[in-house]
Amino acid sequence: MEDKTPNNSKEELEEKAKERLKIKKEKAKKKRPEYKKKRVVVPVITACILVLTGILAAIHSTYFQSTDDAFVEGRLVSIAPRVSGPVIKLLVDDNDEVKAGQLLVEIDPADYEVKLHQAEAKLAEAKAQLNVTEKQIEEGGSNVQQSYEDLNSTKSKLDFAAKDHKRYTDMYKEGIVSKQDYDNSSTHYTVAQANHKAANEKSKAIQSALEAHKAKAEAVQAEIKRLEAEVEQAKLNLSYTKIYAPQTGMISARSVETGNYVQTGQPLMEIVPEQVWVVANFKEIQLTNMKKGQPVSIKMAKEQGLSLSPVKISGTCGRLMCCLKYEQNCYEEFLRTTPKVGAYVETAEGRGRVCETNLLTGILKVQLDKNPDAPIAVNKADVKLLKDGRVQVSRDEIKALKGLEDK
């Protein structure tokens, strides 16, 4: 039989040593109070965060200013046709980027092609008539020349007959020639006078006809100029059936479709140029440290989800252009539907007065009548605007209430 007493005494000694060590630790704890880690670290971190947040907020308020009263502006180019007719081709849509000279819309050119052919036919007819008149003028010039020659010939014959008649008259008085010879010379003189007079009248008539042909030629030439202007106008009208982009930009507010009949001057679309800018309205106290050329950050309406950080507001961002019309409409809609500061509204927690608005987020801060020192944040869709202390109720809601009363 073995003796186990030494082993048992050894275990007892170890247990007693552990007990003594435990007692010493408990005494040490009683002498010094225990500080848990979270009781020291968490408040310190929280305080540091608050201090840092305050410092950043102070710095931000000193060097950065913000406003939600801003909108995009640009010199929009309105596209309108210079001739009327049905649209047969529409080659662009909203937000399409176009280059200067790019074809946008084509109007049916059939009517204008017919008008051009008619004008060209009238012009060709006038030119043919001018050719005929010029031939008549040329022929009249020859006739005038011939009439001058005939007139000179009759004048020579008349002079000879006059001299011959005078000689025979003198000889007849002296009895040298017979009565018959005298009568013959007298007859020849009378005939020469008549021939000369007829040649003179004919020359005048031919000269008048020539002048008439010249006047007609001038009239035809004037008519040709008028018809040439009509042809040029017809060509212009035909060219106007194709509408080209006057400048580079982006299509916006397109209101035309293929097949629509458009009138002269009717707005079809707008081109937003590459150069657009943002107009931001700040308070006077915010303008102290603002200088030209400082960097800015622009955030568009919440439905767009765009955020831009250009070096300057220069309007060089292409994505900004597609928002021009949308942003303006959105801004006007926000202004129309958002209660103004000072307006009374009805919220789920009671009635109160609007003390602050945020157009981009649609969040209102309302001072409740029952607790004006603690404004609450509510969505503008969750409030009803009060007028004269009463809630504005829509017609549909009034009809619904009347229906309930009837039941």
Q: What is the DSSP letter of 339?
A: P
Beta strands in 186-316 (DSSP E): 242-244, 249-252, 261-262, 269-273, 276-280, 298-299, 307-308
Give the residue-averaged pLDDT of 148-168: 81
In degrees, to the nearest 5, what angle opens at C-alpha 72 toward C-alphas 381 and 303?
Answer: 35
To the nearest 10°, the Cα dihedral for 20, 25, 31, 37? -170
Q: What is the pTM of this model?
A: 0.52
Task: Count the helix, strand and coil residues of the chain and give each as a percent rounded to the nearest 5.
Answer: 55, 20, 30
> Which tokens in the block code for residue 182?
């005298």
> How many whole angstroms separate alpha carbon 384 and alpha carbon 352?
11
Rounded to the nearest 10 degrees, what angle do helices 179-239 and 110-173 cross at?
170
Query: pLDDT exceeding 90 applies to what percent of the chain?
Result: 21
Positive or negative torsion for Cα 129, 131, 135, 140: positive
pLDDT at residue 308 tops 90: no
What is the length of the chain? 407
Give the residue-averaged pLDDT of 136-159: 80
Q: Which pLDDT belongs to residue 309? A: 39
> Which tokens in the block code for residue 280?
């931001």
Q: Which pLDDT belongs to residue 402? A: 55
> How many whole angstroms separate alpha carbon 243 and alpha carbon 81?
7
pLDDT in tens, 227-240: 999 999 999 999 99
pLDDT in tens, 11-34: 777 777 777 777 766 666 555 454
Chain-wide mean pLDDT for the chain?
78
- Mode of pairing for the β-strands spanning 103-107 and 242-244: antiparallel
Burial grade of 127 (CB within 10 A; 0-12, 13-18, 19 or more):
middle
Q: Which pLDDT belongs to residue 301? A: 56
> How many whole angstroms separate alpha carbon 328 and alpha carbon 132?
67
> Which tokens in the block code for residue 111?
């009517």
> How many whole angstroms separate alpha carbon 375 and alpha carbon 355?
8
> Which tokens in the block code for residue 252?
């916006």
Give the residue-averaged pLDDT of 259-274: 91
> How many whole angstroms separate alpha carbon 395 and alpha carbon 13?
94
Structural contact between residues 316 and 274, judged by C-beta atoms closer than 8 angstroms:
yes
pLDDT in tens, 341-387: 888 888 888 888 888 887 667 788 888 888 888 888 888 888 888 86
Q: Which pLDDT belongs to residue 108? A: 95
pLDDT at residue 241 tops 60: yes
In the chain, count H helices and then E strands: 7, 18
Work out the pLDDT band at 225, boundaries 50, 70, 90.
very high
Positive or negative torsion for Cα 177, 180, 183, 184: negative
Work out the pLDDT band at 266, boundaries 50, 70, 90.
very high
- Mode of pairing for the β-strands spanning 261-262 and 85-90: antiparallel
Residue 62, helix vs strand vs coil: helix
Cα–Cα distances in angstroms (integers) from residue 383 to residues 340, 377, 393, in the given order? 13, 11, 12
Q: Which pLDDT belongs to residue 83? A: 95
Q: Which pLDDT belongs to residue 358? A: 76
pLDDT in tens, 30-87: 554 544 445 666 677 888 888 888 787 777 666 778 887 777 777 788 999 999 999 9
